[in-house]
Amino acid sequence: MSGFSADWLRLREPFDQAARSRALAAGFKAALGRRKGLPWRIVDLACGSGANFRALAPGLEGDQTWLMVDHDPRLLAAQRTEIARWASQRGWSCQEARDGRLEIDTGTARWQVHGRPLDLARSLEDLDLATCDGLVTTAFLDLVSAAWLNRLATRLTQTPRPLLATLSVDGRRMWRPAHPADPLVAEAFLAHQDGDKGFGPSLGVQAVPHLAERLAAAGCRVDTEASDWQIGPEHPELLLTLAREAATVAAQTRPAEASAVGAWLADRSAGIREGTVSLSVGHLDLLAVPGTP
């Protein structure tokens, strides 16, 4: 899978945090059950710079150990820096243990974070789910294929564990005010999302419905909830980033429409700089709890 930069992940993190479903996060916590004084053991698939840990660990409460899995060693390195900075800003102790884990002491809980480089496209089956209590992932399902999601569903059937998958795109993207070329850019962008990101042809906006169907058929209770980004004109950096990304993808996907796409980007950029443009981006969160059909 082509990598994402730590700068991009840092830019989007506040919007992810605001958009996440609080209800499904609470449901995930409840599904973990009790460990009789032992720490929760969480596996984060495609963890990037550790945003899932920063979002979920305080709400889960209690002692926790996190196995952070990603194929990109640069993101695993950035993750350590981001987590240490985040802990320091909150007045928490963050130390590196002899085995390389980060150890965070909040005063009321201890959290251990261990990064593991792993190519999930090829080696998903190398993860021993029997040694964890739950799995999480964020902004990832829409990048993978139906075949890969089927493999994940099989693993969760063989070793039942709750799964919280957040912030998968669902195809809804609304610029305000409307522009005549919005449909052209949106259709081209959606077509690009179906490309191969290293896991086979991506399911894109169909990823959450596909996995939900598979897990429900396996006896899981599956809930989904919208987790949309709301990006106002006071956030021009992210708006410009998303407009440029959409235009680049649209021009590549529809080269015959490059002139119209270029005009759309010029208009959107001018509006963003004038503070008259906002954007909502549709996402879905999914919670699957085994054994409770």
Q: What is the pLDDT of residue 242?
A: 95
Q: Is the dihedral of CA 172, 165, 291, 29 positive or negative?
A: negative
Q: Which residues of 28-38 are buried (b: 16+ CB within 10 A; e: fewer)?
A: bbebbeeeeee
Q: What is the pLDDT of residue 3?
A: 53
| Domain architecture of the chain: domains with CATH | 6-170+197-230+281-289 (3.40.50.150)
Q: What is the pLDDT of residue 10?
A: 86
Count how many Cα atoms sit within 13 Å of the Cα of residue 74 in the half-sphere of its side chain.
7
For each of the chain's 293 residues, which pLDDT tens digit applies? Answer: 445 677 888 889 999 999 999 999 999 999 998 777 899 999 999 999 899 999 999 999 899 999 999 999 998 998 999 999 999 999 999 999 888 899 999 999 999 999 999 999 999 999 999 999 999 999 999 999 999 999 999 999 999 999 999 999 999 999 999 999 999 999 988 887 777 788 998 999 999 999 999 999 999 999 999 999 999 999 999 999 999 999 999 999 899 999 999 999 999 999 999 999 999 999 999 999 998 54
How far from chain centre, in Å, is Cα 33?
24
Q: What is the pLDDT of residue 100?
A: 83
Q: What is the pLDDT of residue 141?
A: 96
Pairing of strands 40-45, 64-70: parallel
Contacts of 289 (CB under 8 A, 6+ apart): 27, 31, 162, 220, 221, 222
- How many angstroms separate the Cα of 114 from the Cα of each of 40, 46, 69? 14, 13, 9
> What predicted TM-score, i.e. pTM, was given to this entire model?
0.93
Q: What is the pLDDT of residue 292?
A: 52
